[in-house]
């Protein structure tokens, strides 16, 4: 009779151990689920912030440059000496380039990375590095061309005040951001 009581007690202890282990496993699953939810919230917040910042920095310049390129009649069509590119061409390409980069950034943010750490792997991708280098090279060349057209070759006194002020500010802002980007690149290489 004593053996049956011990077996019965062992079975009760085994069931209690299994219940305890199940409770612990359920607790761990709940913690993992909450961690995944928190990570998803952080990724969503990061994506929203990135799109918001890009919207503030890129979208206004893209829309305004394109608008002035196709609506202004005061000076955008003036030829810049022997140069075949006009201020209209410069603003149209600049605006469209801003809009394409904005669209690329938004699509990349929305349709990619489930984890924030994936950004580091994207920026280390050789195709991204080559694309980024070509974009910087073209942007710098295009900025120099815009400065030469606006301040050197064309008679910018014929421009209405809004377009003159916009192009002047646009070129200065682009120069400042190009210099800051150059300093940032040098800082990152050290």
- Per-residue pLDDT tens for 131-174? 878 888 999 999 999 999 999 999 889 999 999 999 999 999 99
Alpha helices in 58-125 (DSSP H): 59-71, 87-111, 118-123
Helix (H) or strand (E) holding 188: helix 161-189
Which structure tokens are listed for 90?
């410069």
Q: Average pLDDT for residues 47-64, to the nearest whole number? A: 88
Q: Is 95:76 a contact under the CB 8 Å cutoff?
A: no
β-strand partners of 83 = 80
Closest C-alpha among 40, 48, 98 to residue 68: 98
Whether the per-residue pLDDT at 91 is higher than 90: the answer is yes
Q: Is 88:176 a contact under the CB 8 Å cutoff?
A: no
- Per-residue pLDDT tens for 108-138? 777 766 555 555 555 666 777 788 788 889 9
pTM tops 0.75: no
How far is the C-alpha of 86 from the C-alpha of 94, rounded, in Å?
12
């Amino acid at each position: 009779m004593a053996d049956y009581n011990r077996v019965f007690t062992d079975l009760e202890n085994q069931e209690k151990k299994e219940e305890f282990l199940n409770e612990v496993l359920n607790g761990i699953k709940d913690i993992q689920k909450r961690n995944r939810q928190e990570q998803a919230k952080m990724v969503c917040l990061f994506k929203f912030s990135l799109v918001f910042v890009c919207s503030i920095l890129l979208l206004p310049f893209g829309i305004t440059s394109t608008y002035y390129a196709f609506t202004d009649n005061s000076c955008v069509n003036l030829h810049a000496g022997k140069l075949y590119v006009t201020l209209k061409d410069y603003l149209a390409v600049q605006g469209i380039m801003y809009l394409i980069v904005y669209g690329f950034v938004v699509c990349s943010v929305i349709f990619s990375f489930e984890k924030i750490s994936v950004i580091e792997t994207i920026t280390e991708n050789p195709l991204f590095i080559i694309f980024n280098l070509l974009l910087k090279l073209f942007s710098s060349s295009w900025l120099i061309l815009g400065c030469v057209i606006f301040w050197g070759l064309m008679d910018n006194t014929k421009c209405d005040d809004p377009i003159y002020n916009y192009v002047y500010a646009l070129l200065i802002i682009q120069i400042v951001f190009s210099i800051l980007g150059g300093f940032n690149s040098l800082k990152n290489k050290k």
